[in-house]
Structure 1
Amino acid sequence: MRTIIWPAYIDSERTKKDGRRISKEDAVSAPKIREINKAAQKLHLNPEVEKYKSYSRSWWESSGRVIVDKSNTKKETLIKISNMIKGMRS
């Protein structure tokens, strides 16, 4: 089973209404597709990048998305990816 990860899901600068799916404490500031892809690779989630897709709540931005294997719940997967990005940034 696969699941879609939009950067908005883990962006600490967005509100829940704007699409953030995890708490601000768990989220990261302005995540990039390449960071999400790299984090998913390190977590062995078999990522597949689609660069030119637009998130429906911000259709004017071509933010892209990453499709990954689903091993846990979507929220757990988002938190793991976010934590991995935090580790890569520091």
Structure 2
Amino acid sequence: MRTIIWPVYIDSEKTKKEGRRVSKENGVPSPKLREISNAAKKLQLNPETENSKSYSRSWWESSGRVTVDKNMPKREVLIKISNMIKGMR
């Protein structure tokens, strides 16, 4: 099974209303698609990047998204990717 990860899901600078899915402490400021993809690769989640997609709450921004294999709850996936990005920065 695959799941979609939008950068806004782990962006600590966004509000819950704007689409953030993790706490500010677990988030990272302005995550890039490349960072999310690299972190997912290190976690062996088989990432696929789609650059031209737009998140529905901010349809005017072409933020892109990453799809990954889902072998645990989505929230866990988001926190692990976020922590991996923190470690890489």
Question: TM-score under structure 2 normalisation?
Answer: 0.99
Task: Tell me how far apart the structure 2 counterparts of residues 8 and 59 of structure 1 sit (CA, whole Å).
Answer: 12
What residue in structure 2 maps to residue 35 of structure 1? 35
What residue in structure 2 maps to residue 77 of structure 1? 77
What residue in structure 2 maps to residue 55 of structure 1? 55
Q: What amino acid is aligned across from residue 56 of structure 2 in structure 1?
A: S
What residue in structure 2 maps to residue 68 of structure 1? 68
* Structure 2: segments with no counterpart, 5+ residues: none
Runs (4 or more) in structure 1 with deviation over 2 Å come to none
Q: Once the 2 structures are TM-superposed, how far is the Cα of residue 71 of structure 1 from its aligned partner?
A: 1.1
Q: When the two structures are aligned, how many residues end up with a matched partner?
A: 89
Task: Tell me how far apart the structure 1 counterparts of residues 68 and 60 of structure 2 sit (CA, whole Å).
Answer: 24
* Structure 1: segments with no counterpart, 5+ residues: none
User: What SS does structure 1 have at the residue aligned with 2:67?
Assistant: strand
RMSD (Å) for aligned C-alpha atoms: 0.3
Q: What amino acid is aligned across from residue 2 of structure 2 in structure 1?
A: R
Q: What amino acid is aligned across from residue 88 of structure 1 in structure 2?
A: M
Q: What amino acid is aligned across from residue 75 of structure 1 in structure 2?
A: R
Q: Once the 2 structures are TM-superposed, how far is the Cα of residue 49 of structure 1 from its aligned partner?
A: 0.3
User: What SS does structure 2 have at the residue aligned with 1:4?
Assistant: strand
